[in-house]
Amino acid sequence: MLKIYGRANGFNVRKVLWLCEELSITYDREDWGRGYKPTSEPEFQKINPIGRVPVIDDNGFILRESHSILRYLAAKTRAEEYYPSDLKARARVDQWLDWAGSDPQVGMRGVFIGGFIKEEPWNNPWFVKAGEAEYTRLMTLLDAHFAASDNRHIAGSTFTIGDIPVGLIVHRWLSLDLERPSLPALEAYYETLSERPAYLKFGRNGTP
């Protein structure tokens, strides 16, 4: 059975849990990370010396990094609709996975880690304010992306693994106490994702 290491409320862990729910993958999960056993403990370091969650153990195959795990599980289960084998279609999904893992991180760190959790040193007021501005800029770009086409999902007309990290980023943006501009196309995307039970379970579930 697949084993997942990481707390269920962890942002990156939720990505993996969401996909497992979508694909009906059974798993066993063990709590690690903030509020639970620290990933600095030797037991975890043997699994992942990088010291981050999530990590999976698939019958002895250890894999870290949430987006790598999404790609692996979708490819392993041959979930063609979620992660197409056609190179161009797959590249469109990959570009959003890569974007979600890089561009929004500074804004989210300022808004969530600094402003919501208030963790040092990220809780510096200038960093929180800068995070809010950057988060707003990126969500405005996403709104324009959806407004420019009839696509209901991030990489086209159908749901893919690219929607998983993007969907969680959008949820966090709409869940926190921020001054937000009206972004109707982005809000419509949020409602589209909310038609999926797995998103309601692991994304739009009351946890930012």
DSSP annotation string for 133-166:
HHHHHHHHHHHHHHHTSS-SBTTBSS--TTHHHH
Instruction: Tell me, yes or no, whether 151 lies in a domain.
Output: yes
**Taking the model in full, what pTM does it have?**
0.97
Mean pLDDT across the stretch 31-44?
A: 96
Instruction: Tell me, yes or no, whether 49 lies in a domain.
Output: yes
Same-domain status, 175 and 105? yes
pLDDT digits (tens, 9 = 90+) for 92-146: 999 999 999 999 999 999 999 999 999 999 999 999 999 999 999 999 999 999 9
pLDDT digits (tens, 9 = 90+) for 76-95: 999 999 999 999 999 999 99
Residue 11 is part of which domain span? 2-76
Q: Are 69 and 56 in contact (CB under 8 A)?
A: yes
Report the CATH number that the domain containing residue 55 is assigned in CATH. 3.40.30.10
Predicted pLDDT of residue 112: 95
Q: How confident is the model at residue 166 (pLDDT cuts 50, 70, 90)?
A: very high
Q: How many Å apart are CA 180 and CA 196, to the nearest integer?
A: 25
Predicted pLDDT of residue 147: 97
**pLDDT over 90, % of the chain:** 99
H-run or E-run covering 58 = strand 55-58
Label the pairing between strands 55-58 and 2-5: antiparallel
Same-domain status, 72 and 94? no
What domain count does the chain have? 2
Average pLDDT value for the chain: 97
Same-domain status, 19 and 72? yes
